Structure 1
Amino acid sequence: MLQFCVIFGQQKVIVIDPGHGGKDSGVIGINGVQEKDVVLNVAKEILRLNKTILNNEFDIYLTRYKDTLISLSDRSRLAKSIQADVFVSLHCNASQSDSRGMEVYVHNAKESETRIKESIAVGLSVLEESSLKLGFKKRGIQFANFQVLRDDIPFCPSILIEMGFVTNTDEADYFLKPKNIRATALAILMGLFNCLNIGL
């Protein structure tokens, strides 16, 4: 699967999509933490770490830079218009049970088989790095027909990361600490780096 990580060419363009925003808070954690805030904080940190640690290795764009609600179609339209190499949507998970861990969703369209394999490779790299560096349980790759994945898969590898369960006490509290936001952002960024730069 790793061979699908090699994308030759110039600087890779990555779209980071912090889910929800504005009036759409997403999931509200048991400690009051809001999904829309967690994902935006992680996205901004990925942007900062790409500059400070990776010396702008990637050309990264966010679908939103503040607490605003962007339509799902506009999120995908951005990725298409700038010819993104990878689209990464960030979310937090919720469960009525005491579920924990990180999982990655990719689209299940049969007509985009190569892009789906590339998406799986990117997702596995992010999961591996996050499990290794954060100690989060790996819940694996899941398949779904989410609109942002469906709209982006025709032209670039696309993943949706459920970073953890804000309905789980430990993981909800984890996302309240700035150092943990940084750690999560770094794990995701290095997962992308490991995949997109292997063999280069």
Structure 2
Amino acid sequence: MLITLKFWKCLGLKNVSFWISLLQFCFVFGQQKVIIIDPGHGGTDSGAIGRNDILEKDVVLNVAKEITILNKTLFDDRFAIYLTRYADTLVSLKDRGRLAGSLKADVFVSLHCNASSRTSQGIEVYVHTSRKKVKHIKVSIAIGLSILKESTGKLGFKERGVKFANFQILRETVVYCPTVLVEMGFITNADEADYYLNPKNIRAMALAILMGIKS
């Protein structure tokens, strides 16, 4: 049975004035790590369709948006976070990869949901098989393991490990920075599909991913 985090009360908005926020932004500008969160699919590409007609493209976008909110409210804009899409639009894989290069990203995280049999469950992370960018691959694996630790250890998902693949989104971005693709559970599984119907659970997953990147 999936569980949520126990500390939602500490995720409320902070009562900080505009000027203090502006000063904090100026102080960290140029020092922030640039993180690109890539909500997979979008527009005419719904991705996987799960139980209760839940759509992969909606789940990943909701989690991505929550990551940006938590970065502001919980971590005081510790990272400069950009999304490859902010609405239900379809962006080409090549353009998503190019964004990592143009923004000089430090980390690229692509969000997806798995689909298989009703009994399949758990979270897995993919990194590219490249042998050319060894440094990026090593860091990618470390980030993947960290995200797995946060999401499975605190949210109750089964851990399916870090795996290697030649997915285009990994291939297009690993040349610029460490890159991982996170499969956030199986929406064809009743428990894991229902999990994402609750906004608090969307926030829990977003926080787990953000903490995984932060570690």
Is the TM-score greater than 0.5?
yes
Name the counterpart of 2:102: 81
RMSD: 1.0
Unaligned runs of 5+ in 1: 1-8, 195-200
Match of 2:207, as an amino acid? L
Deviation sequence 1:149-183 (CA, Å, 0-9, x none): 10111120000000000010000000111010000
**Pairing 1:66-145 to 2, within 5 Å after superposition:** 66-145=87-166
Give the superposition deviation at 1:135.
1.1
Choose from 61, 79, 83 the match for 1:62.
83
Shift of 1:30: 1.6
1:29 aligns with 2:50: yes
Contact 2:70–2:207 (8 Å) recurs in 1: yes
Partner of 1:188: 209
| TM-score w.r.t. length of structure 1 | 0.91
Q: Percent of aligned pairs with the same residue?
A: 67
2:175 to 122, 133, 154: 154
Contact 2:118 2:190 in 1 (8 A): no
Task: Give 1:31 deviation, angstroms.
Answer: 1.3
* Distance across 2 between alignment mates of 1:132 and 1:56: 25
Helix, strand or coil at the partner of 1:111: coil
Secondary structure of 1:156's counterpart equals coil
Once residues 149 and 110 of structure 1 are traced to their aligned partners in structure 2, the CA distance between those partners, rounded to angstroms, is: 13
Partner of 1:41: 62
- 1:67 is paired with a residue of what secondary structure? coil
Q: Partners in 2 of 1:129 and 1:174 — Cα distance?
A: 16
Give the Cα–Cα distance (whole angstroms) in 2 for the partners of residues 54 and 133 of structure 1: 19
Q: CA deviation at 1:185?
A: 0.2
How far apart are the structure 2 equivalents of 1:145 and 1:98?
26
Q: Which has the larger radius of gyration?
A: 2
Q: Distance in 2 between matches of 1:39 and 1:155?
A: 23
Shift of 1:10: 2.2
TM superposition shift of 1:97: 4.9
Counterpart AA for 1:126: I
Q: 1:161 corresponds to which letter in structure 2? A: V
> Structure 2: how far apart are the matches of 1:64 and 1:118?
25
- In 1, the alpha carbon distance for the partners of 2:52 and 2:191 equals 10
Distance 1:78 1:121 in 2: 22
Residues of 1 paired with 2:77 and 2:95: CA distance?
Answer: 25
2:40 counterpart residue number: 19
Q: Which residue of 2 aligns with 1:165?
A: 186
**Large movers: runs of 4+ above 4 Å:** none
TM-score of the two chains, using structure 2 as the length reference? 0.85
